[in-house]
Amino acid sequence: MDRERLVQQLTAVVGDAHVLTDPAVRASYETDFTGRYTGRARCVVRPADTAEVAAVLRLCHGSGVPVLPQGGNTGLVGGSVPGPDGGEVVLSLRRLTGIGPLDPDARRITVGAGLPLAALQRHLRPLGWEFGVDLAARDSATLGGMIATNAGGERVVKYGTTRANVAGVEAVLADGGVLDRLAGLPKDNTGYDLTGLLVGSEGTLAVVTRARLRLVPHLPHRVTALLALDSLASAIAVLGRLRLLESLELAEFFTADGLALVLERSGLPAPFRSAHPVHLLVECAGRRDPSGELAELLEEADVREVAVALQDADRRRLAAYRERHTESINAAGIPLKLDVTVPLAALPGFVADLPALLAGRGSPYVFGHLAEGNVHVNLLGVAPADEEAVTEAVLDRVAAAGGSISAEHGIGRAKAPYLHLTRSAADIAVMRSIKAALDPTGLLSPHTLLPTDA
Ligand code: 2HG
Ligand code: ZN
């Protein structure tokens, strides 16, 4: 179908103001947050509700036009950005921001896919509840995007990834049909777990429009501590002790280089008088003040210096040293980002090997979620000609260590060629069968997740 005709039909569904064709207006939907991935959309369409999403998909399906669902466009693997050929309709879910009534007995709430995480947090906290997943991009990341990518973030050590915190979804299929699994019952053994399948499917199987979220009680007493340590091995040893605490919610690490860059770019004052090789940021929360039990476990730990905060503003100040890594690195250049999991026993060796693996091709900044062995390898200054070789060297090393080439950001388009490194041929064949069953003509997120060459 010619472009003009499709635009007219989409306009009839969502209204003139919500079909964006002007390149200047489309631009923020066509480039990712780091500036690394950029593409061209046929147009951007912004439906208001599930019925409009279904109508948009029916039209695109009928015309054989590929569709790229998009949330807050905070993804870091190119999965939210269209390809270069201007073929895809970018389907922005950001107008689906509804919040249903809270069900305190079931500990559930139903929300629209376009709701930003921070808006959900602002809604829930005064009511005494929380969503278990939290991440630095909370102001712009949407629940739908977090579900599509099975986002992890900072509290996985206590609450698990997004998949564990989503009880049900409503999603629109490639042909416009609506799949309703919103009931999200605590017990429901009636066949395949379609909600679990859609979480982490990166927009390749269906478009999530609403979600039934599991909630956890808001814990009013919190303590945050920033620990300065000799090495990653000693951070892992300290964390091993802290895991005894049920109140442990967060265990994040960063190194001296990353902290120096954050201080330089943000103007924050240094947390300690001297520099230290490794920092571990931990947080405990409870119905009672958890600072005593944290202090007790830290007493005999091998820690160089500690800063402790109890008040919200002070806790946020400590957390900023970790959370501001992404923006500080971005301010210094367009990074090559490799989000990986390495089993904890192999993690110090992996990080120690990075300079040799890189052989001068870029400067590494490593930080991440220590409890899960989730390292964000950020590389600045890698020449475009070296990017593929560097990516391969790092991801090969991750695979050899028994890790995963994507811990929490997903595969997107960045890692599709490397999927075979940590998923078997049998795994990939099953994934292809599922894709073919749900989206036989391959219209949803066509450049994402599954490699095109196999
Ligand atoms: C985080 O943990 C995010 O802050 C982003 O996953 C990581 O910028 C990155 O590489
Ligand atoms: Zn992360």
Task: Walk me through the domains of the chain, giving residue ranges and CATH numbers.
Answer: 3-92 (3.30.43.10), 108-217 (3.30.465.10), 221-326 (3.30.70.2190), 334-421 (3.30.70.2740)
pLDDT per position as a tens digit, 146-194: 999 999 999 999 999 999 999 999 999 999 999 999 999 999 999 999 9
Q: For position 453, what pLDDT does the model report?
A: 59
- 353 CA to centre of ligand 2 in angstroms: 21
Q: Which atom of ligand 1 is the closest one to the Cα of 339?
A: 10
CA distance 74 to 79: 10
- Cβ < 6 A, ligand 1 pocket: 76, 136, 326, 337, 339, 376, 378
> Percent of the chain, pLDDT > 70?
99
Cα of 146 vs centre of ligand 1, distance in Å, is 13
Q: Is the pLDDT of residue 1 over 70?
A: no
Which atom of ligand 1 lies nearest, measured to the CA of 326?
A: 8
The band of 452, judged by pLDDT with boundaries at 50, 70 and 90, is confident
Choice from 135, 324, 374 to test ligand 1 binding pocket (greatest atom count within 8 A of CB): 135
pLDDT at 454 (0 to 100): 45
Report CA-CA distances (Å) from 128 to 71, 102, 119, 124: 27, 11, 15, 6
Model pLDDT, residue 158: 98
Can you tell me the distance from the alpha carbon of 316 to that of 423, in angstroms, rounded to the nearest whole number?
Answer: 38
When pLDDT is averaged across residues 126-141 and rounded to a whole number, the result is 96
Q: How far is the C-alpha of 244 from the C-alpha of 173, rounded, in Å?
A: 44
Q: What is the DSSP letter of 268?
A: P
Pairwise CA distance, residues 441 & 446, whole Å: 10
Nearest to 45 by CA among 15, 2, 81: 15
Torsion of CA 124, 127, 128, 130, to 10 degrees: -10
Which position has the token pair 């003509």?
A: 441
Other beta carbons within 10 angstroms of residue 36's beta carbon come to 18
Q: How far is CA 335 from CA 114, 347, 365, in A?
A: 27, 21, 10
pTM confidence score: 0.96
pLDDT at 274: 94
- For residue 83 the two structure tokens come to 């390809």
- Structure token pair of residue 239: 């964390």
> Closest-lying ligand to the alpha carbon of 374?
2
Residue 300's pLDDT band (cuts 50, 70, 90)? confident
For residues 155 and 249, is the Cβ–Cβ distance under 8 A?
yes
Sequence-distant contacts of 118-126: CB under 8 A, at least 24 apart: 120/213, 123/99, 124/215, 124/218, 125/218
Mean pLDDT of the 336-357 span: 97
**pLDDT 10s digits, 388-442:** 999 999 999 999 999 999 999 999 999 999 999 999 999 999 999 999 999 999 9
Of all ligands present, the nearest one to the C-alpha of 137 is 1
User: What does the mean pLDDT of the chain come to?
Assistant: 96
- If 0-12 CB within 10 Å is exposed, 13-18 middle and 19+ buried, where does residue 301 land? middle
Cα separation of 145 and 200, whole Å? 9
Chain centroid offset of residue 147 CA: 9
Q: How far apart are CA 448 and CA 67, in angstroms?
A: 11
* CA 399 to centroid of ligand 1, rounded, Å: 20
